[in-house]
Structure formats: structure tokens, C-alpha cells
Amino acid sequence: MVQKLITKSQEILNRKSSSILSAATIIAASFLLSALLGLIRNRLLAARFFGGLEGNLDIYFSAFIIPDTVFQLLVVGAVSAAFIPIYQEYLKKSSKKANRMANVALTSVSLILFLFTALIIIFARPLSKLISHYSGEQLDLMVNLIRIMSVAQIIFTFSSFLTGVLQAHRRFLVPAIAPLFYNLGTILGILLLTPSLGIYAAAIGVIFGAFLHVIIQLPSAYQAGFCPKFSFSPKHKGVINMLQLMPPRTISLALVQVERIVSLNLASALSAGSFTVFNFARQVYVLPISLFGVSLGQASFPTLAEEADSKDQTKFAITLGKTTLQMFFFCFPAAILILILRVPIVRIIFGARNFPWEATLLTGKALAIFSFSIVPQAAVQLLTRAFYAKKDTRTPLLINLFTLVIFVASSYFFTKTLDWGVLGMSLAMSASNTINFLVLYLVIRSRLPNLGITREMLKIFFVSILTAFSLWIPMRLLDQFVFDTTRTVPLLILTATASFIGLAVYFWLAYLLKVKQFADVTSLFGKLGNWRKVLGDADEVIEDPNVS
């Protein structure tokens, strides 16, 4: 019986996928579960360090940025944009040659990252001074945390190539659940080591989580025929091609890292806890974007890439338009829920006993500002891939550069000149993300005049506005006259009840106004009963969920 269970588990974990729906389902589920564990991790951090040590928490989030930036630029840029397609080309010819290419690539990137990591460890202090305003003991703490967490990025390099190999073999489940083990490792570090090590426990938890991220993938990699080993060959043609494909993706990732560094630079000059509040609000804001924007964008990319090569762009426009509207249909109610229920959400997720009311309100206000750009930022995930499908990486890159300039300028204006603090940073990010969407949409709309989604977009927007009122009114009435929301259980009931009423109104109005995407939702629920068959089939490569 035990042997049968083990065999069956191995079959599930190593099963290949062969449909867009299965890949999207797997990655969306992994994003959701990983995000939930991430929220639990941050609630533990809030419980342990707010109430006197919130400054240490700021420094922990700050210290993560430098080693993670190097990892994102070198490793994520290599694996997501360059390694997987080249490895797949070799795999079609010879499994042996493909695995040699993978080991040479792993060795080359690891050596480069090891060199950069050594430089980070040596120059951690001047780098910390360059991007933050910390000094004295705070600066010493940041330097120490950077050096500890740099070790994790070396481990993640190894794990990322395992992810790439497994995805190239169409095995998505194990790479999708690996980030869950990363978060579990961090949580265990916080729970077990905080009493004796303080904030260093979270940093050690990151290393332990990275180790688990590797261990969970190794058996499947061996099952796929890949045995990791040192193989140095700098003139290997496949690796040279990989390095040549990296720059566009690396530059795009660099722009995101600039946003993080600017946010750190501004927040480190504010009161203790400011950068943590900003990160907490941003974490909730990113959840629906990852769940709907990234998963739908990744799942639709192979179809868009195939249709982009056709002379008749009608099918491409139809696929892009339909997927965009589906994304809007799911993201609008999520944004409305977050906007109206922002304070209950913050209290439920981060409301530990030590998390003060002032921090709760500030996080809620930042989250409200972020909520206005949830839909635009989710759509950016798809529109950017639409350009990539047409082999145009230049246009989204230029647009990203343009909006980055807007973000940097507005961040310093709102935060320094107007003294809006965390809310100014949130407004700058929300506004720049919205502008990014508008420019991307207008450009692609000019190239695809038959896109034809404006009317349906406005219909979904109208339904969402009515839903906001239907959500806000019962939430206020229940809060004032029914539930004692100073206690956790009544707060949970209030949030669940108001959410149910709001979503019921949203779907009812969508049905009455004949919003086309409502039929897609009912069809999706109809397929849930057939999930075993659905998860049996995907043919596209998906990106590894961000584990940082």
C-alpha cells in the first residue's frame, strides 16, 4: 500500500503537461499558495518585530534587495529568457548534449554569480550606504544581513536551473510547488530561531528555504535524466547563444530593481517601519496581479506567438482581446474588494497584537492607492507578452524606461517635496504602472485596429462601480450595527459576508448586462469537476514564480 502510494505520488509529480489550461492552473495555484505562505511569513515578522523593533524589519527587507538584484539580473534573466529555449533545441537532437549544455550553463552562470556575490560580501558596507540612509548600528545590521542572504542566492542559482530543466521537459508541478517550500523554510527560521537570534533568524530562514527549494526539485530532475555536475567550457556554442539572448530580459528586470532601490532610498529616510508598511501593502497588491495577470499572460503566450506569425492578424487580435477582457473580468472585482475592505484585510493578514493601529491605517491607505493600478498592472503582463509574441522587445522596453523616469521623478516629488511619505511612494508607483498600461494599450491598439474591446471594457468597469457601492454599504452597516470588529472572528465573518455580497452582485449584474466573460466563468466552473483530465495536458514554458 505504501509502495503504491509512493509510486502514484511520483507519477503525479513527474507528469508532463500538455494544455494551456493545465499550465495556467498549476502556476495560478502555486502563486496563490506561495502568496498565502508569504503573508503568513510577514504576519509572523510583524508579530515578532513591531512594537519597538520595526526598524530591524525595515533593514531586513532593505538588505534583501542587493543580493536579490544580482540574482534577478544574472540568473532569472538567463533562465527565463535564454536557457530554456536553447536547452529545448538541444533536447530535440540529443538528451546527452542537452544535459551537457545545461551543466555548462549552470557552471558558467554560477561562477559569474559567485564572483559578484564575493564582491557584494566585500563591499556590502559602501553599497548599503549608496542605496540607503542607514548609519551606525542600523548600517552594521544591514551589512551583516546582506552577507548572510547572499549565500541563499548561490543556492537559488542551482535551483533555478533545475526549474528550467524540468519546465523544458514539460514538468511544471514540482517547479510550481518549490517556492512553497522556500516560504516554509523562512517561516520555520522565524518560528524557531527568532527568540535567540532576532532578525537574523529571518535571514537564516531564507537560506534554509533556498535549500528546500533545491531539494524538492532534485528527484524530478534525476527522473528527467539530468544529473547536475561541474562542467566548464566557456566556448560552448549553446552557452554563448544563451548569453547573447540575455540582455533584453536583463534590462527589463533591471528597471524593476531600480524601482525597488528608489523605494528603499526614500523609505530609509522616513520613520521606522515605513519600508515594512510599504512592502506589506505592495505584497497584497501584487497577489491578484500574479494570480490573474501573470498566469493568464504566461498561459496565453504560446498561442499569441503562434498567431503572431500569421499574415492575417485577426486571430491574434481576437485572442489578445478575449484574454485581456477575461483578465479585466477577474481583476476588477479583486481591486474593488481590496479598495473597500482594505482595513479589514490588513487587520486579518498583518494584525498581530504588536502591529499598531497607526501602522494598520497607513498600510490600508497605501493599499487603497495601489488598488487603483491592480487592473492596469495585470493587463501589462499580457500586453508585454503580446509584443514579445510579435518579436518586438524594443517597444515595451522603451515604454518601461519612460514610465520608470516618471516613477523616479514623482516618487521624490511626492515624498521629499510634498512630504507624503509612504503614501507618496505608493501613489508614484500606482500612477506610473497605470501610465505604463495606457501607453502599451494605445500602441498595440494602433497596430491592431480590430482589437475591439473598448465597449466590453466599459461594461465591466460599470458593473465594478455598482459592485463597489453594493460592497461598501453592507460593510459599513455590518461594522456599525452587527459585528464587534475589535475581535478576530467577527472581523473574519464581516469580511467574508461583505465579500460574498459584493461578488454575488458583481456576477448577477454581469449576467443581467450580458457581459461575455461571465460565460467563460461558468464554463470554467463546469471544468473543475474534470480537473484530473485537465491537469494532464500543457505545451508551453512558464516562468518560475518569483520566490524573493
The pLDDT tens digits for 420-445 are: 999 999 999 999 999 999 999 999 99
Span of 235-239, 388-392, 395-399 with lowest mean pLDDT: 388-392
Cβ density class 396-407: b for 16+ within 10 Å, e for less? bbebbeebbeeb
Sign of CA dihedral 155, 156, 159, 160: negative
Q: What is the DSSP string of 437-456?
A: HHHHHHHHHHH-TT---HHH
Q: Is 234 helix (H, G, I), strand (E, B) or coil?
A: coil
Mutual angle of helices 237-267 and 84-93, in 10-degree steps = 160
pLDDT above 80 for 548: no
Residue 86's pLDDT is: 85
* Interval 305-341: pLDDT, tens: 778 877 778 888 988 998 899 899 999 999 999 999 9
Work out the pLDDT band at 32, boundaries 50, 70, 90: confident
Residue 73's pLDDT is: 87
Work out the pLDDT band at 543, boundaries 50, 70, 90: very low
Residue 89's pLDDT is: 83
Q: Letter for the amino acid at 82?
A: A
> Phi and psi (nearest 5°) for 40?
-60, -45
- pTM (two decimals): 0.86
Residues 6+ apart with CB under 8 A from 545: 27, 30, 31, 34, 176, 179, 290
> Does residue 276 lie in a domain region?
no
Work out the pLDDT band at 535, boundaries 50, 70, 90: very low
The residue with greater pLDDT, 137 or 534, is 137
Work out the pLDDT band at 523, boundaries 50, 70, 90: low
Residue 533's pLDDT is: 44
pLDDT above 60 for 530: no
Half-sphere exposure of 303 (CA within 13 A, CB side): 22
The whole domain housing 202 covers 7-246
Q: Among the ranges 5-9, 173-177, 374-378, which has the highest mean pLDDT value?
A: 374-378
Q: What is the DSSP string of 313-326?
A: -HHHHHHHHHHHHH
Work out the pLDDT band at 4, boundaries 50, 70, 90: very low
Mean local confidence (pLDDT), 147-160: 93
Q: CA 517 to CA 154: how far, in whole Å?
A: 44
* Interval 346-376: pLDDT, tens: 999 998 778 999 999 999 999 999 999 999 9
Work out the pLDDT band at 455, boundaries 50, 70, 90: confident
pLDDT above 70 for 2: no
Residue of 144, 151, 123, 130 lying closest to 59 (CA atoms): 144
**Contact (Cβ atoms closer than 8 angstroms) between residue 206 and residue 59:** no
Residue for cell digits 537564516?
Answer: 204
Work out the pLDDT band at 3, boundaries 50, 70, 90: very low
Q: CA 475 to CA 478: how far, in whole Å?
A: 5
Q: Is 268 helix (H, G, I), strand (E, B) or coil?
A: coil
Q: CA 468 to CA 334: how far, in whole Å?
A: 11
Residue of 440, 116, 428, 62 lying closest to 269 (CA atoms): 62
Furthest C-alpha separation in the chain:
73
pLDDT above 90 for 155: yes
pLDDT above 80 for 66: yes
Sign of CA dihedral 122, 124, 126, 131: positive
Residue 540 is classified by DSSP as S
Mean local confidence (pLDDT), 179-208: 95
The residue with greater pLDDT, 130 or 21, is 130
Residues 6+ apart with CB under 8 A from 67: 117, 120, 146, 149, 150, 152, 153
Q: Letter for the amino acid at 69?
A: T
> Does residue 293 lie in a domain region?
no
Residue 302's pLDDT is: 65
> Does residue 23 lie in a domain region?
yes
Count of domains forming the chain: 1
**Contact (Cβ atoms closer than 8 angstroms) between residue 160 and residue 87:** no
Residue 474's pLDDT is: 87
> Does residue 317 lie in a domain region?
no
Q: Give the whole-number percent of the chain exceeding pLDDT 70.
A: 89
Work out the pLDDT band at 22, boundaries 50, 70, 90: low
* Mean predicted lDDT score pLDDT of the chain: 86
pLDDT above 70 for 529: no
**Contact (Cβ atoms closer than 8 angstroms) between residue 190 and residue 48:** yes
Work out the pLDDT band at 537, boundaries 50, 70, 90: very low
Residues 6+ apart with CB under 8 A from 256: 72
> Does residue 21 lie in a domain region?
yes
Residue 484's pLDDT is: 80
The residue with greater pLDDT, 324 or 27, is 324
pLDDT above 70 for 216: yes
Work out the pLDDT band at 55, boundaries 50, 70, 90: very high
Residue 481's pLDDT is: 81
Work out the pLDDT band at 522, boundaries 50, 70, 90: low
* Interval 106-119: pLDDT, tens: 999 999 999 999 99
Residue 546's pLDDT is: 44
> Does residue 105 lie in a domain region?
yes
Count the neighbouring beta carbons within 10 Å of the beta carbon of residue 123.
14
Q: CA 392 to CA 481: how far, in whole Å?
A: 56
Residue 525's pLDDT is: 53
**Contact (Cβ atoms closer than 8 angstroms) between residue 188 and residue 205:** yes
Residue 269's pLDDT is: 94
> Does residue 169 lie in a domain region?
yes
Mean local confidence (pLDDT), 287-306: 79
> Does residue 218 lie in a domain region?
yes
Q: Among the ranges 275-279, 305-309, 474-478, which has the highest mean pLDDT value?
A: 275-279
